[in-house]
Each structure stands twice: as C-alpha cells, then as structure tokens.
Amino acid sequence: MDKICTVTTDKARTLTTDKICTVTTDKARTLTTDRICTVKTDKVCTLAMDKVRTVDNGQGSHTDNGQDLHNDNGQGLHTDNGQDLHSDNGQGSQTDNGQGSHSDNGQGSHSDNGQDLHSDNGQGSHTDNR
C-alpha cells in the first residue's frame, strides 16, 4: 500500500484466514472500531511496516514503530475478557512469549514478541516498541 489505509466499523470486526496472511505498508495505517476487533489465524500471519501504525479502538491507540513484526504462528489468540489480566497501569510493557493471553484493560501497554495475536476489545491501548 502506498497510501493511508483506514477501516471504520460500528460492530465487531473479525478477520479469519487459513493460510499465510501478510499486510505490508510504507505509510501510516489506521484501524478504528468501537467494538471488539479480533484477528485469528491457524497459520503464519505477518504484519510488517516501516512507518508508524496506529490502531484506534475508539478510546485509545496502539502504535507500532515498524521496528519488528507481529507474527502469529497459529498457536493461539490473545483476547481481553476482563477476567484474567496482566496489568501494568500504563507504566510499561508486558510480555508473555506466546504462552498465554494477556490484557491491559486500556491501562497500559503490552507485547507478545510476535508469537500470538492480542485484542483489547476496543477498551484501551497498547504499544509495541520492538
């Protein structure tokens, strides 16, 4: 893509693939939702950028400085269900090395080291500075 890509929804948005899924941008890419946003794959999913990416869930943003990839090897899905949380209260980043799910409830940032996907159900923000 050589232009800004914007997607806006007013309901849950789900992207499901059963093969390799690659999205590459060279400029800002914005995704805006006011409901749950879930990405689920059962094979390798790679998202690569060389510039800032912003995901705005209506209440916060996720910024990826394009320095590394989020790579889902089909091992699982990170979902914020508000029940089993890793919370940093906005003071740092979280890492689970793809071993489970995590959530910041919109209070801070987390990172999954490119092992799995995560979703904050449109409640807040996370930052991947890798």
Q: Give per-residue pLDDT as tens, 45-69.
A: 555 544 555 554 444 444 444 433 3
Total structural domains in the chain? 1
Q: Which domain holds residue 79?
A: 5-128
Beta bridge partners of 92: none
Which tokens belong to 37?
């946003």
Tell the residue number behind the tokens 């309901």, with chain if given. 11
Q: Give per-residue pLDDT as tens, 74-126.
A: 434 344 333 333 444 333 444 444 444 444 444 444 444 444 445 554 444 55
What CA–CA distances, in Å, run from 127 to 11, 19, 75?
Answer: 23, 27, 22
DSSP code at position 124: -
